[in-house]
Amino acid sequence: MASSILTKSVCNAMRRIAPPILAGSWDNTGLILESPVKSASAAANRVLLTIDITPAVCDEAISSGVSMIVSYHPPIFRGLKALTLATPLQGTLLRCAAAGISIYSPHSALDSVYGGINDWLAECIGADADRVSILNRDDDTRKLELGGDGRRVTFDPPISMEALEGRIKNGLTLSQIQVGYSPVRPDRLVSSVAICAGSGGSMFAGMRDSADVWFTGEMEHHDILAAVASGTHVILCGHTNTERGYLPLLASKLRAELEAARAKGFKSESGLGAVEVIISQADAHPLQFV
């Protein structure tokens, strides 16, 4: 059974946007679910972008008549011994397959690629392009040409923590963030910021160069304690809050790649019509301040 033209086209486009070689060895990226069913929707060439596939997002995808979901987080991360309706996650996968919806996940490859999520976070804090570098460089030259793990931003002259916090709130459109101030650094001046979308504890632990601030979505409690005790301020914004704001940029990139493929007449995508790329309205951070 051959893949649909839309599935092939979106997979090819996403591989160009976020090359799989950049994905972490621990990750599960690529085509996660391929439905053998053809969507009955008249708007079959419709793609939905989301951070997670929750039951609400699944409902939205089916009601919107999409044939493909690009889910930043992979809905299958580890091996499954069964696919049943017993759990919501597996239920959403079965419902998508039955509705003719396939799923692609770029995850850590989209974090690492130049122009990806970590570079977007660097832009959110007002970093000049020439002051942004890879946080953990890989010795593989093929990867270095495409991107790398995390980002390190430097400021000269330094900026205050208050200024950095304001930039983050504005860039991520958040009214509140969590901050751990290190008592070792009472002046709270920032010359360097280490950035990791999502959960940054393990990446920061492997850094070659220290940073005044660690900026990420979430970290484990004892990692936070260790960081502030050693002289590093910590800024946490909520895991998916450091990722969701990138979806409009991803939508633009995906539209451009699909249109370019149509214009160039790629053989594997011959016959692809116009594709509508939409951003999920049901996708949201699971926690709220109350």
Which residues are known binding-site members?
73, 111, 239, 243
Cβ contact 28:77 at 8 Å: yes
Cβ contact 69:96 at 8 Å: yes
Residues 6+ apart with CB under 8 A from 276: 43, 45, 46, 47
DSSP symbol at 147: B
Half-sphere exposure of 220 (CA within 13 A, CB side): 8
DSSP 190-202: EEEEEEEEEE-HH
Tell me the helices (H) and strands (E) count for the chain, helix number first.
Answer: 10, 11
Q: How many CB atoms lie within 10 A of CB 140?
A: 12
Cβ contact 240:51 at 8 Å: yes
Q: How many CB atoms lie within 10 A of CB 208?
A: 8
| Residues contributing to the annotated binding site for a divalent metal cation | 73, 111, 239, 243
Structure tokens at 158: 């330094």
User: Nearest Cα to 74, choosing from 109, 45, 118, 35?
Assistant: 109
In three-state secondary structure terms, 56 is helix
Quote the distance between the C-alpha of residue 115 and its chain's center: 12
User: Nearest Cα to 131, choosing from 155, 165, 98?
Assistant: 155
